Amino acid sequence: MQKRKLGNSNFEVSALGLGCMGMSFSYAPPFPDKQEMISLLRTAVERGITFFDTAEVYGPFTNEELVGEALAPLRDQVVLATKFGWKIDPSTGKNVGLDSRPERIRQVADASLKRLRTDVIDLFYQHRVDPNVPIEDVAGAVKELIQAGKVKHFGLSEAGVGTIRRAHAVQPVTALQSEYSLWYRKPEEEIIPTLEELGIGMVPYSPLGKGFLTGKMDESTELKSGDFRSTLPRFTPEARKANQAVVDLLTAIGKQKNATPAQIALAWLLAQKPWIVPIPGTTKLHRLDENIGAVSVELTPDDLRQIDEAASKIKVEGDRYPEQIEKMSGL
């Protein structure tokens, strides 16, 4: 597995990370068997993946516990990223809004350390920007955690340019995690140039379009009750029918390269910048191996031009989130 550094931070991770959310959260239950997921996580390490992404709110709590149990015996071989920033009702376990007050950040850090069975969080992201807490206070709280040895690196998620600059002035931001893929390219407008200027790495989540870019879904695919994608405008049957053109493009390039659509989607992201590290999620070993195979797919400048030209003629249909969720994004 190739390695990459996130920005100018000297923070080295595998060229692909593993998003762990779907192992215990967000898609339709029943969730995969816990022991199977522990085995998958450990196999990922054997395959060369060192970068694992979780969050307090996934579950809540259960995803961090899973990652902690699976990777504790391999802790010296892996990098753990988790996130703070939500208010969780202790009586119901439900996420009830944003909360990035410094005292809450400190509480989450201590609780996450226990669940992850570690003495340090390698990368601690603010999950969503909290409009009620100045980002300088957030960055300052994480700076104190870094000084205390509980956290190594500070990250932001779905933050806008102004927020990134203000946070970075207080505590250098190592990575921004935001959605980025061939069917969501808005970060190219302002975010990626800003990250390049400041020396911040990028960690694209949903690099496979929440599964759509794998080519295993179409307009007739039935989403189970409880699958969060059923609430997304981009996943209505009509939108999926219109957006099939993106998958057709990936499939056509894949045939030229002896690769799957998913591998082309990931290889395209890896080819954009040397400090971009996608974190595709999966619960299946064959998908893990398929995703890892993307690192070996070489897209030439001509290939990338061909993809860009074809993609520019495709209008992606449907917003990526309902309006109230999209408002939480700082992009």
pLDDT digit string, tens, across residues 261-314? 999 999 999 999 999 999 999 999 999 999 999 999 999 999 999 999 999 998
Reply yes or no on whether the pLDDT at 137 is more than 90: yes
Q: In Å, how far from its chain's centre is CA 100?
A: 20
For each of the domains in the chain, give its residue range(s) and CATH number, in order of start.
3-326 (3.20.20.100)
Alpha-carbon distances of 270 from 80, 114, 202, 325, rounded to whole Å: 21, 33, 11, 28
**Torsion-angle region of 49 (φ positive above 0: left; ψ -120 to 50: alpha; else: beta):** beta
pLDDT in tens, 63-81: 999 999 999 999 999 999 9
215-262 per-position pLDDT tens digit:
999 899 998 888 889 889 999 999 999 999 999 999 999 999 999 999
Q: Is 58 tagged catalytic?
A: yes
Residue 2: pLDDT band with limits 50, 70, 90: very high
Q: Which residues make Cβ contacts (< 8 Å) with residue 19, sequence separation at least 6?
A: 53, 205, 279, 280, 281
User: Considering the chain, what is the average pLDDT of its residues?
Assistant: 95
pTM of the model: 0.95
What was the pLDDT predicted at 228? Answer: 87
Q: What is the rounded distance in angstroms from the CA atom of residue 146 to the CA atom of residue 6?
A: 17
Residue 27's pLDDT is 78
From residue 295, alpha-carbon distances to 64, 72, 267, 277 in Å are 27, 26, 6, 11
User: CA dist 60 to 65, 91, 158, Å?
Assistant: 10, 12, 20
- Per-residue pLDDT, averaged over 320-325, amounts to 85
**Unique residue bearing structure tokens 């070489």:** 298
125 token code pair? 């992201």
CA–CA gap between residue 51 and residue 19 (Å, rounded): 9
CA distances from 226 to 172, 177, 222, 275 (A): 38, 25, 12, 35
Q: Given pLDDT bands bounded at 50, 70 and 90, which one contains residue 30?
A: confident
Per residue in 166-204, pLDDT (tens digit) is 999 999 999 999 999 999 999 999 999 999 999 999 999
Concatenating the DSSP letter of every residue in 214-277 gives: GT---TTPPPPTT-GGGG-GGGSHHHHHHHHHHHHHHHHHHHHHT--HHHHHHHHHHHH-TTB-
pLDDT of residue 331: 58
Given the residues 58, 125, 184, 205, select the one marked as catalytic.
Answer: 58
